[in-house]
A and B are shown apart, each in its own frame.
Chain A
Amino acid sequence: MSQPVASAIPAPTAAPVYQEINYLNADRGVASWLKTLDHKRIGVMYFASVLMTFLLGGIFAMIVRFELTTPEPTFIGANTYNRMFTLHGMVMVFLFMIPAIPGVFGNFCLPLMLGAKDVAFPRLNLMSLYVYWIGSAIVLTGVITGGADSGWTFYAPYSTSTPMTLFPVLLGVFVLGFSSILTGLNFIVTVHTLRAPGITWMKMPLFVWAIYATSIIQVLATPVIGLTTLLVGIEKVGGFGFFDPGRGGDPVLMQHLFWFYSHPAVYIMVLPAMGVMSEIVAAFARKNIFGYKMIAYSSLGIAFVGFFAWGHHMFVSGQSSFDGGGFAVISMLVGVFTAIKVFNWVGTLYRGAILVTAPFIYLCGFLFFIVFGGMTGIALATISPDVHWHDTYFVVAHFHFIMVGAVIMAFLAAIHYWFPKMFGKTYNEGWAMVAAAFIVLGFNATFIPQFLAGNAGMPRRYYMYPERFTGLNVASTMGSTLLAFGFVMILIYLIFALLRGRIAGENPWHSKGYEWRTSSPPIKENFAETLEYPEEPHTYREPGEEPEHVII
């Protein structure tokens, strides 16, 4: 069977074309969406789902911040507050952060970036979406029927002895773990077996490398949190005493099991974000990525070394100082991998042709936040200062710098970058830049005061606090309203763009990423013809000309 082969260099563009029959309308009816095997539709359904869970987690966050505007009880009671921060953490981590970038953009872009027609196991892909919905529904049932108050970390023996019903939330988290495992498994096999001829490992887009590394973590680490939720649940319901010192159990063992997953989990959250950033910086500086191999290998490095660093959450848990030292030095190594990436991303700008757009602004924000979030992580890993900072707002600020500052900047950048590909329409760049400014400024205003509050000694999970922390808390709450405003703005203009946006055409950014070499929106089968891949992605040169090679 012969098919026409497209040349690697696209023809000069005429007016942008909207692909009339595409994956969105190829099959009609709700049933066709619910039974789809198309990775793109699954990605879109994940997108709608995570937007809703992000909204829910955000509402919990705003309730927490409003309560904290005064050192006394402000408008909710202590038990309600404790549930609010617990649910904010659980919903954000398990229902949003873990599935977001892999579920939405991993699903949508991975096959396109590999020249494939779908992921390796399309039915497992659909199943992972269903399991995500079921797990989320169980967690939401838990939220409605009283909710959990143990903190998202649900340490024993508090979690096993609290009168609040933790069980539905734990069960929900357990079920969600399967969704994560199935997604990761699918992506690993896709990368190994479905690369188009011409796309070797060293020519894969860096987003694929990032998703691959993430998937390894998902597959290996998630079972351990499954076990932990199972054990805590059984103990709560059955009185087994696995972690109960009164029956000979060890509560610190629970911490080890919990963090063995939860530390690599943060890399599940941040690696895809880094992958997105590699794509964005190359596309908007119109340049090959500086140090492709190092970025690819450092992703694997983070995934591997990240498995051995979990004890840095437990420096003052009573574990030995020898263990503490081991975990600390390993955490430093992970920091080095991140530093390499930052230098390489900035290096990509050198001799580039930078186009300032909303994704690029998010890239700038991302770089700022990952440097400070990362460095405060290194500072925490230096153990002796962590004695003061552990379980204070310093840690809260650190992880929000990475999770909101870095990951959500990347998520927003990804949305704006790939929106034209996914939906065939463009959004209003002016509004996007205004919203980006609100987000970046609002974010700083929210979380920088929290670093200072942590330095000053304000512990986490505090419903009431000593008066001297009031100013910082008020500042943080004000910042959070700016941040929330930015998110609402984005939602509005994106919906507008979906309904009434201008036609984007196949490649409005003129990006040389592989996923742009098909119509916008893509047809159901992804590619109308078999493509050749003679060059690395993001090689920007004049047609017919040999590119200039520079070595630094």
Chain B
Amino acid sequence: MAKKIQMPSKVRLMSHPEYNIVCRVFAGTIPYRVRIFITDAAGEDGRPFTIPTSLLPTILGMTEGAFFGGVPGALGGAAGGYIGSFINLAYLINAGDAYDSLTGKDRDTLVHETTHVWQGKNSTFALSYVFNSVYNQCVLRNAYAYTPNQPWKSYNVEQQASIVEDWYMAGESTSSNLYHYITDNVRKGDA
């Protein structure tokens, strides 16, 4: 039976060890650590998802300030929530059961979901990757599978996240046939 959507019961900033991993992959093209939050929320069947915090008022009916009230150093509290209603200030990685193991057995989730953060930060509209993901998951049988060596821009947001995840999970090799995407696109902020 399908598991229900899991609402967040815990929220924290991305940890230093987690940030060290993603900085190695994305270099200086992701937001500051204090702008990336991790929660234990999850979609159906415990699936992780990443959203810009500007979506919070719509989804949870609360401001960012209210949501992050208990997180030290989070966005300056209510002011961040108010401003964040208009522009996107931060990202929320909803990791579900992987909340405590993103530097261990769930590193694939950390890198995949941070690619969505990267897409949000390096796109004109932070929300555009959410709609790109929805569209491609609706029209394609497998939105995540890809054929290597195609132009980076021809991949949908989930294929891009899969490429980054696969490169990382195969050992971050500089001789990988995916490495040129990391150097020529990802680390240049070419979303």
- Tell whether A and B belong to one assembly: no
Chain B interface (Cβ within 8 Å of chain A)? none
Chain A interface (Cβ within 8 Å of chain B)? none
